[in-house]
């Protein structure tokens, strides 16, 4: 018996209709399964991706710049502060008539209408129209009530001192980012933390809600070691010197003895960071960025190193060869035709010959080590951008002629700041204090995050430093045996220091220029208890004078006198160095300042200390006659006034001091 076919589940429908129904059901099942799978992906698997896309469309994260931290001088007076400024912006999608709007804005802001049309028609929801506008301009824009145009407040950097200290303080750009000086070096600390909040927008981009505000944290307050008053004195003094002497540039530095605090760091040319569009590329901070073959101001460090190493004494006599000494094929010259000088007088009279002989006795390795102990050849570590190392080569590589010239300041390069720190070591009993310009940094929450420290090291012994102070004071002596600073008067202080007049190297000549100079002065005030170091450097004076005493000396005198009076005196009971003898009265006929390689005609030949043979040789060279009385060496001389030709009576005695034996000449290129 055949089985009965199954009873249809859809009675009354044809077979084809049932097949269509099944197909439709299968399609709907597949369709809804796909929708469900996609929904699962949107809500579960890819939820973070689509949430981010939604936030980008409907939630905008906005930022408001934090007030930039203030920069203050050591007494709390402002050097750089942040104030409010008004700026004009545009939402170009809301501007109804670009031409009419730009015309009205051009009249209110004094800008080009064509430039404004380009900004208003950019299609951007936000763009700056004009930043840092005046109060009157902002009021005019508000009064115009232009669709899509708004005025907002933003921070603006202001510099109360103007040009004073411009290169050292630096400048922040229109967006509040430091681009030079302290503003650049401490940009991260000064910037602070921006305020942030989210703004919910509708489909048209309009802000509907603001929440989640994160308050701005102001930038740190930076207190410098600079003294605004002393900085102003130094700025004015170096500017006057550069202008008067028609020089290329100049630097003046004031540093506190014993602490390394830089009280002034002046450069000229300078710039005003308040002036819009000011170019400050030519007004760099030359005290740290420029290096010089500085010349004779390096002699004290040669002598100090020699005293420290025991190779000479302050009162040792040296034969300085009448101011002319051949080393190999070259001749080292002095201005003054001295015959004998003590070690101290070599500094006082600025004898290149004497310094070269001391250096040759000392040797290259010991002199190089001594210069490095004074901080030359490496950065001081001051908190400023662009500091240079200077150059002190390995003493083992120096030829003898290089050793001779390095001894009086040629063949090494230094920054003015290095020179100030080295002179400060002599002033502070031989202790070197690294120069610093940051006193403290206090963050936006009032926490001190950095404070001045002084990590001293010994450059020379206290005994050597004490020996150097009266030597430096003697440079200011006046009279027949005047020091090279004998013309410099510092009202209110007895000072010590050293002049420098260095020829500049000329690449075109492949040698030293005969008429281009670097004039410098480095000194201490007061010399009995030094409180400040003052360094002045004037590059390439062309106004007639070029000697260090004539060009840089007045800068030292002015800054030391006016600025030194602002420095507190030493505390009661502090040790005070004994000053040298009081200078003699001024003899204007002998106020001369020697410069290397510039020869001067003396009042007459000096025969003192010479043996008979040398005395006769000098007489023949000078075209004079001599009468000899006694035997030995020349003890004294007297010009015979009534003689038909210039004649000198020389009193010769065995008791006369003997000169130091002449060093052997060395081969190699000579001094410049």
| Residue 127: pLDDT band with limits 50, 70, 90 | confident
7 domain-assigned = no
Residue 179, domain extent: 65-221
Does residue 129 contact residue 105 with C-beta atoms inside 8 Å? yes
599 domain-assigned = no
- Tens-digit pLDDT profile for residues 532-582: 999 999 999 998 899 999 999 999 999 999 998 887 766 555 544 444 443
Does residue 64 contact residue 215 with C-beta atoms inside 8 Å? no
Q: How far is CA 74 from CA 223, 434, 439, in A?
A: 6, 18, 7
On whether both 51 and 160 belong to a single domain, the answer is no
> What average pLDDT does range 441-458 have in this prediction?
90
| Residue 365: pLDDT band with limits 50, 70, 90 | very high
Burial class (CB in 10 A: 0-12, 13-18, 19+), 322: buried
On whether both 216 and 321 belong to a single domain, the answer is no
For helices 364-373 and 299-308, the axis angle rounded to 10 degrees is: 110
On whether both 582 and 620 belong to a single domain, the answer is no
Q: What is the mean pLDDT of the chain?
A: 81
668 domain-assigned = no
* Boundary of a domain, candidates 33, 58, 83: 58
605 domain-assigned = no
Instruction: Please state whether the predicted TM-score (pTM) of the whole model is above 0.85.
Output: no
Q: Domain total for the chain?
A: 4
**What's the full length of the chain, in residues?**
672
| Residue 152: pLDDT band with limits 50, 70, 90 | confident
* Boundary of a domain, candidates 221, 238, 257: 221
Report the half-sphere exposure of 334 (CA within 13 A, side-chain side): 28
320 domain-assigned = yes
d(CA 368, CA 400): 13
- Tens-digit pLDDT profile for residues 416-433: 999 999 999 999 999 999
On whether both 316 and 384 belong to a single domain, the answer is yes
5 domain-assigned = no
d(CA 68, CA 82): 6
Closest residue by Cα to residue 172 from 154, 190, 160, 192? 190
What pLDDT score does 45 carry?
66
On whether both 198 and 302 belong to a single domain, the answer is no
d(CA 290, CA 308): 30
Report the half-sphere exposure of 633 (CA within 13 A, side-chain side): 13
CATH code for the domain of 358: 3.40.710.10
Does residue 89 contact residue 128 with C-beta atoms inside 8 Å? yes
Instruction: Please tell me which residue, 168 or 648, carries the higher pLDDT value.
Output: 168
What pLDDT score does 201 carry?
54
Does residue 618 contact residue 626 with C-beta atoms inside 8 Å? no
pLDDT of 276 above 80: no
Closest residue by Cα to residue 517 from 551, 543, 540? 540
Closest residue by Cα to residue 637 from 653, 622, 621? 653
| Residue 661: pLDDT band with limits 50, 70, 90 | very low
- Which tokens in the block code for residue 79? 């050097």
Question: Averaging pLDDT over each range in 153-162, 363-372, 502-511, which range is the top one?
Answer: 363-372
On whether both 500 and 620 belong to a single domain, the answer is no
On whether both 322 and 180 belong to a single domain, the answer is no
3-class SS of residue 217: strand
What pLDDT score does 199 carry?
53
Helices (H) and strands (E) in the chain, counts: 20, 26
351 domain-assigned = yes
What pLDDT score does 6 carry?
62
Q: What DSSP string describes 616-642?
A: HHHHHHHT-EEEEEESSEEEEEEEETT
3-class SS of residue 325: strand
> What average pLDDT does range 217-234 have in this prediction?
93
pLDDT of 600 above 60: no
| Residue 280: pLDDT band with limits 50, 70, 90 | low
3-class SS of residue 610: coil
On whether both 576 and 633 belong to a single domain, the answer is no
Instruction: Please tell me which residue, 639 or 254, carries the higher pLDDT value.
Output: 254
| Residue 672: pLDDT band with limits 50, 70, 90 | very low
- Which tokens in the block code for residue 31? 């369709």
pLDDT of 279 above 70: no
Q: How far is CA 268 from CA 198, 251, 282, 327, 419, in A?
A: 48, 7, 9, 38, 18
- Which tokens in the block code for residue 356? 């070269």
On whether both 562 and 620 belong to a single domain, the answer is no
What pLDDT score does 24 carry?
73
On whether both 170 and 306 belong to a single domain, the answer is no
What pLDDT score does 593 carry?
36
- Which tokens in the block code for residue 277? 């569009």
d(CA 395, CA 369): 8
On whether both 552 and 479 belong to a single domain, the answer is yes
With residues binned 3-state (H G I as helix, E B as strand, rest as coil), the percentages for the chain, rounded to 5, are 35, 25, 40
In the numeric block, the tokens 């896309």 are attached to 53
The reply to whether omega before 526 is within 30° of 0 (cis) is: yes
- Tens-digit pLDDT profile for residues 499-526: 999 999 888 888 888 889 999 999 999 9
443 domain-assigned = no
| Contact residues for 249 (Cβ-Cβ < 8 A; gap 6+) | 242, 267, 268, 269, 286, 290, 538, 539, 540
CATH code for the domain of 117: 3.90.1310.10
- Which tokens in the block code for residue 472? 């430096």
pLDDT of 5 above 70: no
Does residue 376 contact residue 361 with C-beta atoms inside 8 Å? no
Closest residue by Cα to residue 114 from 129, 130, 102, 100? 102
- Give one word for 492, left, alpha or beta, with left for phi > 0 and alpha for psi -120 to 50: left
d(CA 392, CA 406): 9
On whether both 621 and 486 belong to a single domain, the answer is no
- Tens-digit pLDDT profile for residues 10-20: 566 676 776 67
């Amino acid at each position: 018996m055949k089985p009965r076919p199954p009873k249809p589940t859809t009675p009354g429908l044809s077979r084809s209709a049932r097949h269509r129904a099944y197909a439709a059901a299968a399609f709907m099942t597949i369709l809804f399964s796909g929708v469900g799978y996609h929904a699962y992906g949107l809500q579960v698997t890819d939820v973070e991706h689509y949430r981010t896309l939604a936030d980008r469309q409907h939630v905008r994260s906005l930022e408001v710049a934090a007030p930039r931290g203030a920069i203050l001088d050591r007494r709390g007076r402002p050097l750089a502060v942040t104030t409010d400024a008004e700026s004009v912006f545009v939402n170009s999608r809301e501007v109804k008539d670009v031409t009419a709007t730009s015309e009205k804005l051009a009249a209110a802001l004094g800008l080009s209408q064509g430039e404004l049309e380009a900004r208003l028609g950019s299609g951007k929801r936000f763009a700056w129209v004009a930043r840092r506008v005046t109060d009157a301009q902002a009021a005019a824009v508000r009064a115009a009530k232009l669709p899509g145009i708004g005025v907002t407040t933003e921070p603006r950097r202001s510099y109360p001192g103007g040009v004073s200290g411009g290169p050292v303080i630096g400048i922040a750009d229109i967006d509040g980012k430091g681009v030079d000086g302290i503003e650049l070096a401490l940009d991260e600390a000064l910037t602070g933390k921006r305020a942030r909040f989210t703004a919910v927008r509708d489909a048209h981009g309009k802000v509907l809600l603001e929440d989640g505000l994160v308050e701005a944290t102001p930038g740190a307050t930076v207190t410098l070691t600079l003294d605004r008053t002393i900085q102003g004195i130094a700025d004015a003094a170096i500017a006057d010197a550069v202008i008067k002497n028609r020089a290329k540039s100049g630097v003046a530095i004031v540093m506190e003895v014993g602490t390394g605090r830089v009280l002034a760091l002046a450069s000229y040319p300078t710039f005003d960071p308040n002036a819009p569009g000011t170019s400050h590329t030519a007004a760099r901070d030359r005290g740290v960025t420029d290096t010089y073959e500085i010349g004779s101001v390096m002699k004290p460090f040669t002598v100090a190193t020699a005293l420290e190493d025991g190779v000479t004494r302050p009162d040792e006599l040296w034969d300085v060869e009448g101011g002319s000494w051949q080393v190999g094929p070259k001749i080292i010259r002095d201005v003054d035709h001295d015959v004998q000088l003590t070690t101290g007088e070599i500094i006082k009279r600025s004898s290149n010959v004497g310094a070269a002989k001391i250096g040759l006795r000392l040797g290259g390795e010991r002199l190089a080590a001594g210069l490095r102990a004074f901080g030359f050849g490496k950065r001081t570590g001051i908190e400023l951008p662009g500091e240079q190392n200077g150059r002190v080569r390995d003493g083992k590589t120096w030829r003898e002629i290089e050793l001779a010239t390095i001894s009086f300041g040629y063949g090494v390069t230094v920054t003015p700041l290095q020179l100030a720190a080295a002179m400060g070591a002599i002033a502070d009993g031989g202790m070197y204090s690294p120069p610093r310009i940051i006193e403290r940094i206090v963050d936006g929450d009032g926490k001190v995050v950095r404070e001045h420290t002084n990590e001293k090291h010994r450059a020379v012994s206290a005994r050597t430093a004490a020996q150097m102070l009266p030597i430096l004071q003697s440079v200011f002596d006046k009279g027949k045996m005047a020091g090279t600073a004998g013309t410099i008067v510092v009202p209110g202080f007895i000072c010590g220091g050293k002049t420098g007049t260095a020829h500049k190297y000329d690449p075109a000549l492949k040698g030293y220029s005969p008429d281009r100079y670097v004039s410098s002065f480095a000194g201490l005030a007061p010399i009995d208890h030094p409180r400040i170091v003052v360094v002045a450097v004037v590059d390439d004076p062309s106004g007639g004078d070029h000697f260090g005493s004539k060009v840089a000396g007045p800068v030292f005198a002015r800054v030391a006198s006016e600025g030194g009076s602002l420095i507190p005196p030493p505390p009661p009971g502090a040790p005070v160095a004994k000053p040298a003898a009081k200078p003699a009265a001024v003899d204007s006929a002998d106020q001369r300042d020697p410069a290397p390689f510039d020869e001067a005609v003396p009042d007459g030949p000096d025969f003192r200390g010479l043996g008979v043979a040398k005395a006769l040789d000098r007489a023949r060279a000078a075209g004079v006659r001599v009468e000899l009385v006694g035997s030995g060496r020349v003890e004294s001389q007297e010009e015979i006034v009534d003689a038909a030709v210039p004649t000198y009576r020389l009193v010769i005695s065995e008791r006369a001091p003997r000169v130091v034996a002449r060093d052997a000449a060395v081969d190699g290129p000579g001094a410049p």
